[in-house]
Chains A and B, each alone.
Chain A
């Protein structure tokens, strides 16, 4: 079983739609959680950290569900520029090791 799993998608949505991705993790002792965005043939860029209480940054909302061991990313009012692959990252050992999901691809269509 993989440490971190994501639905690969693609999620094809129209502009203005709301879309949500989940990311499940296997180790209940995982400590820190992050969402990254990766454009085609580019490096991942940090989108947001995921806090226990949930956090919001503009159109983006991240939540953590420890009981069910998943994190989520909600994007409201999707823009064409949101088209990318979204990777979740989970840290297990005091930042010594991170596990990344394989990513969920989002296509926002006009």
Chain B
């Protein structure tokens, strides 16, 4: 079946612009996660959704970052007034409720110039 998809695969933007990243989870997966991975680094947890609600937003790096999920499916991560330090690969993963095992999308490579 279809895996997790993310769009765009690559995004180059100028400093100060807003960007929106999209994640389509595996059908039926109620849990959805966003991570950020800088070059040569591990995954930094950003936010988790169970259904449409995000019980813990403390992983978001700053108030320029926001995320939403609608219909228990698609999620968008928005970064306002992008900064060069926001450059990274943004990964989305989904999981069945209570399962723990996560399935990752291919990521969006964001470059802020």
Q: Would you call B101 and A43 a contact (CB within 8 A)?
A: no
Looking at B102, B106, B107, the one whose CB has the most chain A CB atoms below 10 A away is B102
Task: List chain A residues, Cβ under 8 A from B16.
Answer: none
- Inside 8 A of B105's CB, which chain A residues have their CB? 43
Residues of A within 8 A of B41 (CB): 102
B59: chain A residues at CB < 8 Å are 97
B42 touches which of A43, A49, A102 (Cβ 8 Å):
A102
- B91 lies within 8 A of A96 (CB): no
Residue pair A46, B102 in contact (C-beta under 8 Å): yes
Give chain B residues whose Cβ lies under 8 Å from the Cβ of A87: 42-43
A34 part of interface (Cβ distance < 8 Å):
yes
| A-B contacts, CB under 8 A, total | 52
**B43–A43 contact, CB under 8 A?**
no
Contact with B along A23-63 (1 / 0, CB 8 A): 00000000010100000001111100100000000000000
- Count B-side interface residues using an 8 Å CB cutoff: 24
A32 touching B106, Cβ below 8 Å: no
The interface residues of chain A, by DSSP majority, are classed as: strand
Is B43 a contact partner of A32 (Cβ separation < 8 A)?
A: no
Report if A95-B98 is in contact (Cβ < 8 Å); known contacts: A44-B43, A100-B35.
Answer: yes
Q: Are B33 and A43 interface neighbours, CB within 8 A?
A: no
B65 within 8 A of A: no
Interface magnitude class on chain A: 20 to 34
The CA of A43 and the CA of B93, in the complex, are separated in Å by: 10
Complex Cα–Cα for A103 and B37 (A) = 12
By Cβ-Cβ distance, the 5 closest A-B pairs, closest first, are A102-B42, A100-B43, A43-B104, A32-B100, A100-B42
Q: Is A99 an interface residue (CB 8 A)?
A: yes
Provide the residues of chain B in CB contact with A11, threshold 8 Å.
none
Chain B 73-107 interface mask (CB, 8 Å, partner A; 1/0): 00000000000000000010001001111111111
A72 within 8 A of B: no
| Residues B102 and A98 in contact, CB atoms below 8 Å apart | yes
Q: B58: nearest residue on chain A (CB-CB)?
A: A97
Which A-chain residue is minimally distant from B100 (CB atoms)? A32
